[in-house]
Amino acid sequence: VNEDAIVEAIRAVINEYRPRHPERPRIAGAVEGGDDAALWQPSRSHRSAISTDMLVEGVDFTRDLMSLEDAGWRAMAANLSDLAATGARPVLAVVALGLPQASSLEEVVEIYRGLAGCAARYKLAIVGGDLSRADAIALAITVVGEIRPSNVKTRAGGRPGDILAVTGALGAARAGLELARVSIPLEGLEEEALRAFRRPEARIAEGRFFAASRNVRAMMDLSDGLATDVRRLAGASGCGAELSNIPVARSASALSSVRKDDPQRFALCGGEDFELLVAIRPRAFPHLAARYKSHFGRELAPVGVLRAEKGLTWNGEPLELSGWDHFAR
C-alpha cells in the first residue's frame, strides 16, 4: 500500500462524512496534497494556515545519525517549511510527544531544546502539547501561521510559460544524510552537508517575499526532492514541466564527484532541502530575481519552465527519476 493510495482512501472517507451544512463554511480551501498547509478564515480580513507532521524514531530519524536536539529542530523546521510554502508568517506551534517507558528527563529536554531553538529562530511560540507513552519517540508538531488573504500561494496557480525557480542549491541535506552514515572527506564541506541534514532552515522570509508578489503564481517547498515535487506543482497547476539546469550544493557536488555520480541527478532526487519551488510570470523573472538577490544575498535559480503539454522532461529527456515515498520503501 503506497502513500498516494492511503491519501486517496482518506480523502474519500472525509468527503463521505463532510458536514452538508457546516455552520459557517469558512475554510478558505485546503491546499492540494497530503502533507501541506491548509487555510481558513478566522475573520473576513485574515487567513490562518495550519500544517501538521509526525516523525518517529527509527523511521524518520535515528540517533546514530543525529542528536535528539537535531531531531527536534529538524521536525520543527520541516513543519515550518510547509507554512513557508503558503507565504504565511508562523505564529505558534503545539507538540504531541510520544515517549518510551525508558525515556529520561534529559532526553525530553534535549528534544525540546531543538524544538524551542528552531521556534525561537523563526519567532514563533510553542503554546501547548500533549504527552503519551509510545514504543519509540514520536513527535507530532502542528504549526499555525497567518497571512493576508491576497498573498496566499498554493501549488495550483502556475501557468504554461512560467519560469520555475528554486531558492537555493539542492542536494546538501541528502549529502549530509550520507555523510552521517559513512564519514567521507569532502574538502571541508562536511559541515555544510551535516548542517543541512540536521539543522535545516525553513524559507519563511523567502516565502513571505514571494507571497507579496503577484508575479509568483505557484509555490511549494521541496521536501521529497525536486524530481517528485515538481511533478506535484506542475500537476496541481494542470501543466507539464521542462527542467534543465539544477543548482547543486557544493557539498553535494563534492560527494557526487567522490562517488562518480551525476551531481545534477543527485540534487534532483535528494529530499529535505526545504528550499522553495516557485512558478514566476516569465516577464517578471529578471526583476524578481534581482530583488531576491539583493534581499537574501543568494541566487534565485531558474530550473525550468511550465508547459501546456503534460509530462516532465529533464534536459529534453523524459524525467523518470523520483524522490521520496514514505510508504514505498
Residues 117-136 contacting its own copies, CB under 8 A: 117, 119-120, 123-136
Q: Which is nearer to its own copies, 38 or 184 (CB)?
A: 38
Count of positions (residues) in the chain: 329
**Candidate ranges 105-113, 285-293, 302-310, 314-322; the one touching its own copies (CB under 8 A):** 105-113
* Runs of H (alpha helix) within 88-165: 105-121
Binding-site member from 283, 310, 326, 328 for its own copies (CB under 8 A): 326
Q: Which three cell numbers stand for residue 53?
A: 507532521
* Pairwise CA distance, residues 158 & 243, whole Å: 15
Of 134-153, binders to its own copies (CB under 8 A) are: 134-136, 138, 140, 142, 144, 146
Q: Which is nearer to its own copies, 17 or 64 (CB)?
A: 17
**H or E stretch at 252:** helix 250-259
Of 14-73, binders to its own copies (CB under 8 A) are: 14, 16-19, 21-23, 26-27, 30-31, 34-38, 40, 42-43, 45-46, 48, 50-56, 58-60
Count the alpha carbons within 13 Å of 278 in the hemisphere toward its beta carbon. Answer: 35
Cβ neighbours of 191 (radius 10 Å) = 12
**Candidate ranges 108-116, 238-246, 295-303, 312-320; the one touching its own copies (CB under 8 A):** 108-116
* Pairwise CA distance, residues 208 & 194, whole Å: 27
- Nearest distance from residue 54's CB to its own copies, in Å? 4
Q: Position 222: which residue type?
A: L
Of 63-102, binders to its own copies (CB under 8 A) are: 89, 91-92, 94-99
Helix axis angle for 172-181 and 190-198, nearest 10°, is: 100
Of 206-245, binders to its own copies (CB under 8 A) are: none
